[in-house]
Amino acid sequence: MSVLFSPFKLRDLTLANRVVIAPMCQYSAEQGCATDWHMIHLGNMALSGAGMLIIEATAVEAIGRITPGDLGLYDDATEAALKPVLAAVRKHSKMAVAMQIAHAGRKASSHAPWDGGQQVPLDKGGWIAEAPSAIPTKPGELPPKAIDAAGLVRIREAFVATAKRAERLGIDAIEIHAAHGYLLHEFLSPIANQRTDDYGGSLENRMRFPLEVFDAVRAAFPAHKPVGVRVSASDWIEGGWDVEQTIAFTQELKKRGVDWMDVSSGGVSPQQKITLGPGYQVPFADAVKAATGLPTMAVGLITEAKQAEDILASGKADFIAIARGILYDPRWPWHAAAELGGQVNAPPQYWRSQPSTQKALFGDITFGAR
């Protein structure tokens, strides 16, 4: 039996298989509100046969958006806009739906990637970002404002409020974004965090705020629903955040009941030097899993079914999170299941697409003549 297409339980949530659609920013919201693009995009992903769909990084407050087009869940309007999108997904798909909740920190107020991705000037609709320290991501950028004690409380409460809204919307699980150079990763990394108070300096201090956010979200979200964390296991910069510190952070999260670790890397500085290659981030997930025993998600140039199966079968990770690959091939799980002898859920409207050589792909299905 294929490991990739075997079920996995996270608290009371059982995933039909180990394929996870990673959160992918679409930069297509309006004032934080989901649009018809989200209906089309998430609806498409929900018919893919994956075990879980994680909605893109969803800002916990307007100032925490990466771009003006970021999705948010921080007021009644943003909550109302997501409601019909999720209702449509639920009507036509059995897939588990999670949400990644996030704050961009010093990487906020940026243009969308297809518009260059640079910082948006204040006179062009930008805003002053907030961060652990008043250090810009790139030289020449407007520095962020260092977050004070009141700001820490406000942001932590914003994560809680978003988690509660997610629960009202019926979200099955939450992933807290502590990767890719955004706010919680900024607190963890000595590259971005040069505070001299209780939230900077030592590893214990740098972990403090991300752990406070996790504790607050875990307490606010129903105990039977899982909460995971996405981390960057390395800054790919000498003297930055690394896998040993990631393991220490994960061990603290394990004490607090984290349900999975989604292990990525990079993003805190343009000076990073990353060696790319198929599965280049899998060793990070493997290291975290080996050291802590927690379920991990492997990411990063995993594009082939056998490659994904081998990662899981060898015990290096428990899930495969697919991002760009599933945008290119929205039926990636179907094709992987056909290759590996697995089965996927598909809407009945699509059952007749099953190739004659793959009769078991959607289970035991027969059709009457017409």
**Which residue do the tokens 């790919």 mark?**
236
The label of the residue with tokens 């079920």 reads: 7
Q: If we measure between CA atoms, which residue out of 1, 8, 2 comes closest to residue 319? A: 8
Work out whether strand 261-264 and strand 296-298 pair parallel, antiparallel, or are unpaired. parallel
Query: What number of CA atoms fall less than 13 Å from residue 367's CA on the CB side?
Result: 12
Burial-class residue 291 by CB neighbours within 10 Å (0-12, 13-18, 19+). middle
- Look at the block and give the residue holding tokens 């059995």: 94
* Active-site residue, selected from the candidate residues 182, 199, 328, 350: 182
Rounded Cα–Cα distance for residues 171 and 256 (Å): 21
Known catalytic residue at 280: no
Residue 335's φ and ψ, nearest 5 degrees, are -70, -40
CA within 13 Å, CB half, 189: 34
The set of catalytic residues is: 182
